[in-house]
Chain A
Amino acid sequence: MTRGGVRRRLAKALIPASATAVLALWAFPIFWAIVVALKSESEVLAFPPSLVFKPTLANFGDSLVGRFSILPEMWTSLVISSVATLLTIVLAVPASYAFARLRLPAGKFLGFYVLATQMLPPVGLVIPYFLILNRVGWLDTYQGMITVYLTFSLPFAIWLMVSFMEDIPREMEEAAAIDRASRLKTLWYIILPQVRGGIAVTVVFVFLNCWDEFLFAVQLSGNHVRPVTVAMYNFVSVEQTLWAKLSAASLIAMVPVIAIGFAAQRHIVKGLTVGAVKGGGRR
């Protein structure tokens, strides 16, 4: 056998093997969460951990409808995340279109601004946010949390969508202008249908960020308005930590995110490969 042949066969065997290894590494915490969620609290603490046990769904029951139900908090998170995502998209679409098309002097700074918001340690912003929200009386309110999340997600969403908008040839809009479409109609009929993938990607990222957020949620809300991340924190206390219920609650809290991922999957793949190949009929 030639040396190239050996190398090819080796690569053929190595790629699935390493992919499996990476996948296992990534999936292990989830797998372990499932295992823990199926045990009773006392079994969780047994050492060495028992691999053979009698599985129970009691933790899921407790976390869903029982004494420890996280459903109200999930509803709170859903409201905050959905409204923040919706507002982000409604504002980011026209803004990113403007950044992509109009020669705005601020356009050059957008990338820097976005990076800056990602680089700032969030903990440094907690106190200013606390003071501001306290001053306007928005501490521990829906509008307060939504506003805080908007300040992070909006620049990121605009920055993400500008690249999708820029991929659409200018001539497309010029053709629309000649065909008597106004700017708004052009945005609605010509641009938006072509950036659906980009919007889907943005929705997933923004929703995910809001849903998963813990630091601001725990500092700026928690009594009247309590997101699911904060609720889960309550399973951990000085006296005891309810690991099994925490695991079950975590798994339940993942469901909406996974659902959104599945729903948007088709668009995401399309959105992420935009520009990789020339779109049909574009050039």
Chain B
Amino acid sequence: MKGLGRVRLEGIEKRYGTVSALKTVNLEIRPNEFFALLGPSGSGKTTTLRLIAGLEIPSTGHILFDDQDVTDASPGERDIAMVFQSYALYPHMTVAENIGFPLRMSGVPKRQLASLVRDAAARVRIDHLLDRRPGQLSGGQQQRCALARAIVRKPRLFLLDEPLSNLDAKLRVETRVELKSLQRDLNVTAIYVTHDQEEAMTLADRMAIFMDGEIVQIGAPAAIFERPATLAVAGFIGSPPMNLVRAHADGAAVRVGDTVTPWHGRIPGPPRDIMLGVRPGDIAADGQGLLAEVYVSELLGETTIVNLKIGAELVKMRVNGGSPFRDGEQIRVRLDPNRLHLFERDTGKRIEVEADSK
């Protein structure tokens, strides 16, 4: 019987000898949610996925699927399917045999198996390749074959470990869209590991950000983009990422270098050095504000990233169209006072600002 697909991790830790790969992870993934585990390599996201899959056993803590403890259950008992980064297709089997393998191991009768395999293959549009072997497929087709093998059994949980990272850029964007619609059609919980923040932002309903074996923030992509909880998250989310510059805060005044940058709000606590974050799109060159030197411009097509030197800091500003500036030109830029992010310099924590309204 198909469960709901609710996943709960309670106090999960994973140690390899003396090395701690995961430090106390608590996480709840809701039924039918597309949930991304995002983080740089070595941050613990893949370990978390492998724990959920049952390929690793946690050192402490519990894993619950639909309120049922599966911490010690084998992968086969968990009613899950997984797409590996390498696809892990069986090279000696045809596409049809690959897709049918989980059904065969579940004891599905032959005739039913063949029609289920055809359906799954048709869903990812490889039903014309059923007699080929993985070695005769393109990267994109192999990826689809792995997807078909995962969906054929209609699992309660669908795990994806960087499934798009081996595809070229164009195919990756196309497949991303299909993956999202596939998950919606199947109405199944999907847990998706990636180090590509853009992928996570576009696909996920919610996501958890991993840094150094810990979850530093959980939330909807837009919410995390708007209010990153730490300096590290701020520097990780967004493309290009948020500018982070040294600043000094004293009550209502935030100073970058010698210039007071206007903003609306009040910082609690004593005057201190902080980090000021501002996204490239929230900087405008309108003749007032901080003095900056145009360092170099990168045309991206519809927009241009203008690299600025403000004092000793290098700051990226996004402008529409081509760059209106010459390299080396002195300009003045204004940081959008409503869209500044302040972080403690020592702990990296976001400073919750008093009267953070207009």
Contact = CB atoms under 8 A, between A and B. Distances in A.
Interface of A: 169, 171-172, 174-182, 185, 189-190, 193-194, 279-283
A169 B87 CA distance: 11
B146 to A, nearest CB: 9
Given A177-B76, A178-B81, A172 B133 contact: no
A281 B105 contact: no
Interface string B95-107: 0000001100110
Closest CB pairs A-B (n = 6): A280-B135, A281-B134, A179-B102, A180-B76, A175-B88, A171-B88
Nearest to B91: A281
B295 interface: no
B82 interface: yes
Contact of A279 (B74, B80, B91, B101): B91
A169 B76 contact: no
Given A171-B88, A172-B90, A174-B55, A179 B101 contact: yes
A185 B90 CA distance: 14
B86 A181 contact: no
B149 A281 contact: no
B92 A194 contact: yes
Given A178-B53, A180-B102, A180-B106, A280 B133 contact: yes
Contact of B55 (A177, A189, A279, A281): A177
B225 interface: no
Interface in B34-85: 53-55, 74-76, 80-82, 84
B124 to A, nearest CB: 16
Contact of A174 (B75, B91, B92): B75
Given A177-B74, A178-B53, A179-B76, A281 B133 contact: yes
B136 interface: yes
B64 to A, nearest CB: 19
Nearest to B90: A190
Nearest to B155: A178
A280 B134 CA distance: 6
A80 to B, nearest CB: 33
A5 to B, nearest CB: 39
17 contacts: A169-B86, A174-B82, A176-B101, A178-B81, A178-B82, A179-B149, A180-B106, A193-B92, A280-B91, A280-B133, A280-B135, A280-B136, A281-B91, A281-B134, A281-B137, A281-B142, A282-B134
Given A171-B84, A179-B102, 8 more contacts: A171-B86, A174-B53, A177-B74, A178-B53, A179-B76, A180-B76, A280-B133, A282-B89
Contacts of A181: 76, 101, 105
Contact of B75 (A177, A193, A279): A177
A137 B126 CA distance: 64
Nearest to A186: B105
A203 B158 CA distance: 42
